[in-house]
Amino acid sequence: MRHEPGLAEWLQLALTPGLGATTLRSLLQQFGLPEDVLALGRAALARYVPSTTLDELYSEKVARAVARALRWAEAPGHSLVTLADPAYPKLLLEIADPPALLYCVGRTELLNQPSLAVVGSRNATAQGVRDAERFARALSDAGFAIVSGLALGIDAAAHRGGLAGRGSTIAIFGTGIDIVYPPRNGALAQEVGVHGLLASEFPLGTPPARQNFPRRNRVISGLSQGVLIVEAALSSGSLITARAAAEQGREVFAVPGSIHSPLSKGCHDLIKSGAKLVESAADILNELTGFMRIEPAGAPSGPAAESEAGAAPTHDSAVLTQMGFEPVDIDSLCTRAGLPAERVAAELLRLELDGRIAALPGGLYQRLH
């Protein structure tokens, strides 16, 4: 595969240890493209770059890393998108610190498609996972690419929903593009790489590191017209994405939940701070596009549609009736319903699978509908 002119120079600058993103952007603003920067020569660059960084810039180590990245880009479906590339996402150019280049696998045209981020807790409830997938599917059918971070829980559900709709999905890595994290999402990443897009700003081989994920999150929000948070504790990394979105001038949406659920507290805090409360994808579409209704082509209507959308069954349950909407333990339910523990446990499992209740820490259960 023939590489774009100047790609090696982009990589040489981007892969030089010590040459931070701010310095790199400053050099580009002053002198033009990377080949113009490098044409200055070491003596002239010494005015802007420390000598130790210049040693790295012209080192064999960086040359090998450049050669490795160029070989990686030769594989089918692989590409390197630089700031000067027409394929570079225009929305990402609006943020304060856009990545100099993106390693991509899959459909790079999605980078400039209308997009919406859907993120949330890694330890999501079954209902939260269903909500994320439903929202993502509806928004994808409306034409949005669904952007998320390939984490467990809400992120994975968002990608599945995006893949099921016509807008597809974009997964932003907090590692090198050649390292899937968490490994449990390997099959999902492979599917996204075929039907959607995988992207990372980090060099090949970059392992998972705590400090990289906030940087990943600002790309997730920067790529998107808005960010939807579905379940988040007060300590959730999803709130970092929401803050980044607000700083970037993006819309922030949050799905409310029970006042007793720890996984609702982050969403409620966002709503108190000005995020828009949403109960359906229509709320988001009305805000972003002026859509009044969502009617994807071929979507069923009536009772069948409610069942497909995950609506709760209407049959009575003695356990559910006695549950109320506050967290409760199994012993209390046995007493209230007058049923043996094994029967209550079986009913709780069925209700959880139906999405009518959620299991909480400490052996507690909570009604959702």
pLDDT in tens, 292-324: 344 433 333 333 333 333 333 334 478 888 887
User: What percentage of the chain reaches a pLDDT higher than 90?
Assistant: 71
Q: Which domains, ranges and CATH numbers included, belong to the chain?
A: 1-74 (no CATH), 108-304 (3.40.50.450), 318-367 (1.10.10.10)
pLDDT per residue as tens digits for the range 76-122: 999 999 999 999 999 999 999 999 999 999 999 999 999 999 999 99
Predicted pLDDT of residue 201: 97
Beta carbons of 264 and 231 less than 8 angstroms apart? yes
- DSSP count for the chain of H helices, then E strands: 17, 12
Q: What is the pTM of this model?
A: 0.79
How many CA atoms lie less than 13 Å away from 267 in the CB half-sphere?
28
CA 301 centroid distance within chain: 30
Quickly tell me which residue has 């209740």 as its tokens. 357
Q: What sign results for the dihedral spanned by CA atoms 11, 13, 14, 15?
A: positive
Per the prediction, the chain carries an average pLDDT of 88
Burial code of 140-149, b = ≥16 C-beta within 10 A, e = fewer?
bbbbbbbbbb
